Amino acid sequence: MVELDRPTFQKLWSRDQWATLPVNRSLLSPLAFLERSIHVYGGKDAMVDGTRRYSYEQLGARVYRLASALRASGIGKGDRVALLAYNSDEALEAHFGVPQIGAVLVAINIRLSADEIGYILAHCGAKAIIAHPDFAHLIAPGLAGSNVERVIWTSPYQRAAQTNGAADLTCPTTTYDDFLATGSPEPFDLGIDDEDDTISINYTSGTTGRPKGVMYTHRGAYLNALGEVYHAGMNGDSVYLWTLPMFHCNGWCYTWAVTAAGARHIALPRVEPKAIFDLIEHEGVTHLCGAPTVLVMIANEAPSKDYTFPRPLRIVTAGAPPPPTVIARIESMGAVLTHAYGLTETYGPHTVSEWQVKWNGKDAEERARLKARQGVGYIHAPELRVVDENMDDVPADAATMGEVVMRGNNVMKGYFNDPAATGKAFRGGWFHSGDLGVMHPDGYIELRDRAKDIIISGGENISTIEVERTVYAHPAVLEAAVIGVPDEKWGEVPKAFVTLKPDASATAEDIIAFCREKIAHFKAPKAVEFGPLPKTSTGKVQKFKLREKEWAGKEKRIN
């Protein structure tokens, strides 16, 4: 392995390209984070991926090899390079090597179908794809309709790819290590001249219709990464476990944030409880992120009932309001939980339930309730409102619902090749989340529902999230989703879809009675159905599938 030496690296700080900028200005790009960490933490572990360990100097050399090899293969400024890979060293390197030459990274969800992947490849116009051979069968069908000119297989598994549907690929292929061997480890000027250049395109999960390509900029990624460093409390001694997929909003920008802190990345290709707890124990993990489903897994599959983490562990969760019972369990294990909220269009998290010292003395249930709120804007993106249909702010009474809108440094550049959708999302000069929430008197927001998920029963509005939280509190419930279903008398009534914990038992009557004890009777589910919940590839429950079944044969889905 060829490593950068310090004299070579120093060239980075005297680039000719900076000479055209004012002395008090440099371009904001997360690529600068790697350069700094090479300089400050050169010999320190940067990435642990199974048996592979790379220092920051070694990681930098590999990134520059990738960048120069891509450039030599004909990839240039503005070209798109797709990524379809597990959390891995190669996936991390792509987050730096692809934009190094001004190209745009398109990290694709590995849980999508071949049709969805083919659509994304065609829509973004990717010229190359870096992929794990496990996904060869997902890539092959879409190549004919795409601009992909080269497939680069991660790790030396070319033969494995031949058994996964890649034998008929219609473009040249190579292994990642062979491709890197054609590049140079020497650093070179960044291929950007504007911090508003696009650094990545992330496709929405597409619960309805085709996914849209969300464009991130170098500037937005830089600022969002710094926001993550601050709110997660990371530093050079931190060790970050990749339970969150790197393909999801570029890992909420933690690909760049962990590097900015000079912390250690620990790759986890699959979210498995035993692997999580083993790495926490043996690698000194201090930080991880994940959706509430990951928290549920950690809470319910710990090595023992009285398990506590061996050292302070900071967990950032987002994706849905975590049930207070799960928050309480995670905290009892010794973790410090930070609840964030955002969307693909906001680089991942946009708000954080900022904890205040004055709440420390409250009981566990009240602390969990406060942490379950979505909170306030990130330090670099504080612009956040809850508005009515006229774009007027709703009263800060914790009761009046409106749409959550935001603007500022970590709102997307727009949807790739979709000006109509961009204009709709940005109407009124704010990004419209489509989420319904309330504003508390202390200025913290709290989600109450998706705009399309409100149940109107007998003229009363019912928040499905409120009902779901109550169902979750039942000791036998592992996961739950609530929707409105048709009712002859009330128009709509809540119905709960429930997955029980392993070896637990409960009847529909048990859960309904439990809810009627906790919330108003009209809010309690009128029916309960047991079984696995349909989910998107990012772990979100697909409520529209539940609605399709329950409203089949109806002309409208309101009653």
Dump pLDDT digits (tens) for 308-333: 999 999 999 986 666 777 888 888 99
| Residue 498 backbone zone (phi > 0: left; psi -120 to 50: alpha; other: beta) | beta
Question: In the predicted model, what is the mean pLDDT of residues 205-226?
Answer: 85
**Token pair recorded at residue 193:** 């001249």
Pick from 155-169, 309-323, 354-368: least confident: 155-169
Closest CA to 93 of 205, 218, 223, 255: 255
The answer to whether 347 touches 316, Cβ cutoff 8 Å, is no
Q: Which amino acid is at 31?
A: L
**Is the pLDDT reported for residue 170 higher than 80?**
no
pLDDT in tens, 448-504: 876 667 787 865 668 888 899 889 999 999 999 999 998 877 778 999 999 999 989
Task: Kindly report the three-state secondary structure assignment for every residue of 152-208.
Answer: EECCCCHHHHHCCCCCCCCCCEEEHHHHHHCCCCCCCCCCCCCCCCEEEEEECCCCC
Question: In the predicted model, what is the mean pLDDT of residues 144-165?
Answer: 73
Determine the Cα–Cα distance for residues 306 and 291; give it in Å rounded to an integer. 23
Question: In the predicted model, what is the mean pLDDT of residues 206-232?
Answer: 88
pLDDT in tens, 503-553: 899 999 999 999 998 887 888 999 999 999 998 877 788 888 898 899 888
Give the position of tokens 């060293």: 89
Determine the Cα–Cα distance for residues 183 and 527; give it in Å rounded to an integer. 61
Model confidence at 16, in pLDDT bands (50, 70, 90)?
A: low
DSSP designation for 21? S
The answer to whether 28 touches 219, Cβ cutoff 8 Å, is yes
Model confidence at 149, in pLDDT bands (50, 70, 90)?
A: very high
More confident residue, 32 or 10: 32
What is the average pLDDT score of the chain? 89
Question: In the predicted model, what is the mean pLDDT of residues 149-178?
Answer: 73
Q: Which amino acid is at 402?
A: G
Give the position of tokens 């050399």: 61
Q: SS3 for 551?
A: coil
More confident residue, 129 or 16: 129
DSSP designation for 557? S
Q: SS3 for 24?
A: coil
The pLDDT, as a whole number, for residue 161 is 46
In terms of C-beta density within 10 A (0-12 exposed, 13-18 middle, 19 or more buried), how is residue 383 classed? middle
**Is the pLDDT reported for residue 435 higher than 90?**
no
How far from the centroid of its chain's Cα atoms is residue 436's Cα? 20
Closest CA to 437 of 520, 367, 521, 375: 375
pLDDT in tens, 372-424: 899 999 999 899 999 999 999 999 999 999 999 999 999 999 999 999 999 99
> CA angle 111-238-185, nearest 5°?
70
Model confidence at 7, in pLDDT bands (50, 70, 90)?
A: very low
Determine the Cα–Cα distance for residues 305 and 323; give it in Å rounded to an integer. 19
How far from the centroid of its chain's Cα atoms is residue 342's Cα? 9
Question: In the predicted model, what is the mean pLDDT of residues 362-377?
Answer: 88
The answer to whether 227 touches 381, Cβ cutoff 8 Å, is yes
Where b means 16+ CB within 10 Å and e means fewer, 455-493 reads: bebeeeebbbbbbbbbbbbbeebbbbbbbbbbbeebebb
The answer to whether 339 touches 368, Cβ cutoff 8 Å, is no
Q: SS3 for 345?
A: helix
**Is the pLDDT reported for residue 11 higher than 80?**
no
For 265, 301, 540, the CA distances from 294, given in Å and listed in that order, are: 18, 10, 12
pLDDT in tens, 82-121: 999 999 999 999 999 999 999 999 999 888 888 889 999 9
The pLDDT, as a whole number, for residue 208 is 46
Closest CA to 365 of 334, 423, 323, 395: 323
> CB pairs under 8 A, 24+ apart, for 505-512?
505/476, 506/474, 506/476, 506/477, 510/474, 510/476, 511/471, 511/474, 511/476, 511/477
> CB pairs under 8 A, 24+ apart, for 93-96?
93/59, 93/62, 93/63, 93/66, 94/66, 94/130, 95/200, 95/246, 95/250, 95/255, 95/256, 96/31, 96/34, 96/63, 96/67, 96/259
The continuous run of DSSP H or E covering 290 comes out as strand 287-290
DSSP designation for 556? -
**Is the pLDDT reported for residue 300 higher than 50?**
yes
Which backbone phi and psi does 198 adopt, to 5 degrees? Answer: -75, 130
Q: SS3 for 325?
A: helix
DSSP designation for 523? G
For 398, 457, 493, the CA distances from 484, given in Å and listed in that order, are: 23, 8, 5
Instruction: Residue 500: count other Cβ atoms within 10 Å of its Cβ.
Output: 17
**Is the pLDDT reported for residue 279 higher than 80?**
yes
The pLDDT, as a whole number, for residue 217 is 98
The answer to whether 288 touches 312, Cβ cutoff 8 Å, is no
Beta strand pairing status for 431-439 and 402-406? antiparallel
Q: How many helices (H) and strands (E) does the chain have?
A: 19, 26
Determine the Cα–Cα distance for residues 33 and 262; give it in Å rounded to an integer. 8
- pTM for this entry: 0.84
The pLDDT, as a whole number, for residue 434 is 87
The answer to whether 109 touches 249, Cβ cutoff 8 Å, is no
